[in-house]
A = this chain, B = another copy of it.
């Protein structure tokens, strides 16, 4: 028995990945347990665990206690993208950032917002509509609802000076959230606010976040024509 070699968990991961692509395991089949793979690959179990965690994150395998590691019959591609604070995003392109608070009120969230939060609770929330500008031109139009129960401090913020987007990123933690992206046609009202023509194709992002089971914020943001979102794999 030779001593375990010093090797990166990435190499272990790639060796396992290659074994999978070689067809050694059938889709849905159970792979050897970590401990056995560690022996076979001559490394510590923690190293196999790290490699497997990465393959699971990548969507190639599924891992369950007691159920073992199985090869996903429907492998997916997972990608990560970054959503910067809007001001940073604009300034990062060398443009001058502008911000305009359009409306602010307290109201019971309408049905669509309650549905996004997956709740029936009609407790009033903070409703904010704002426009982000790049070199004085419309860049992003946001319609946001913020839970004052979960984020009580938001009440003391002057949202005509600081955007809710920026304040929340810097001051509010959340545990998880959903995002939806789509393409929509500009209606007359939106076209007016975005200084474009009715019928233009607009990129729309919707984001809902929670802190554990408590709603934090829901935002629907409409980007100006030409907007491109970038992500990495």
Binding site for B on A (CB under 8 A): 14, 17-18, 21, 59, 74-85, 88, 169-174, 176-185, 199-204, 207, 209, 223, 225-233
* Contacting pair A184 B201 (CB below 8 A): yes
Query: Which of A170, A227, A231 has the largest count of B CB atoms less than 10 A from its CB?
Result: A231
- Residues of chain B within 8 A of A88, CB atoms compared: 74, 76
A-B contact pairs, 17 of them (CB 8 A): A18-B173, A21-B173, A76-B84, A77-B169, A78-B83, A79-B80, A79-B177, A176-B233, A177-B233, A179-B232, A179-B233, A181-B203, A182-B229, A183-B184, A183-B223, A201-B201, A201-B202
Q: Are B81 and A79 in contact (CB under 8 A)?
A: yes
A230-B82 contact, Cβ under 8 Å, with A17-B173, A75-B170 = no
Give the chain B neighbours of A225 by CB distance below 8 A: 183
Question: How many copies altogether?
Answer: 2
- Among B85, B180, B223, the residue within 8 A (CB) of A228 is B180
The 4 closest A-B pairs by CB, nearest first: A183-B183, A201-B201, A177-B233, A77-B83
Assess whether B85 is in contact with A231, with CB atoms less than 8 Å apart. Answer: no
CB distance from A149 to the nearest CB of B (A): 18
B80 near A80 (CB under 8 angstroms)? yes
Contact of A81 among B21, B179, B200 (CB under 8 A): B179
Contacts of A77 in B (CB 8 A): 82-84, 169
Contact, CB under 8 Å: A85 / B76: yes
**Chain B residue, CB-CB nearest to A88:** B74
A79 close to B179 (CB less than 8 A)? yes
Task: Determine the distance from Cα of A230 to Cα of B81 in the docked complex, in whole angstroms.
Answer: 12
Contact A78/B80 with A209-B233, A232-B179 known, Cβ cut-off 8 Å: yes
Q: How far is the CB of A152 from chain B (nearest CB, A)?
A: 14
Min CB distance, A173 to chain B, in Å? 6
Q: How far is the CB of A65 from chain B (nearest CB, A)?
A: 15
Which residues of chain B have C-beta atoms less than 8 A from A18's C-beta? 173
Closest to A80 in B: B80
Least distance between A166 CB and chain B CB atoms (Å): 10
**Residue pair B74, A231 in contact (C-beta under 8 Å):** no
Q: Are B178 and A181 in contact (CB under 8 A)?
A: no
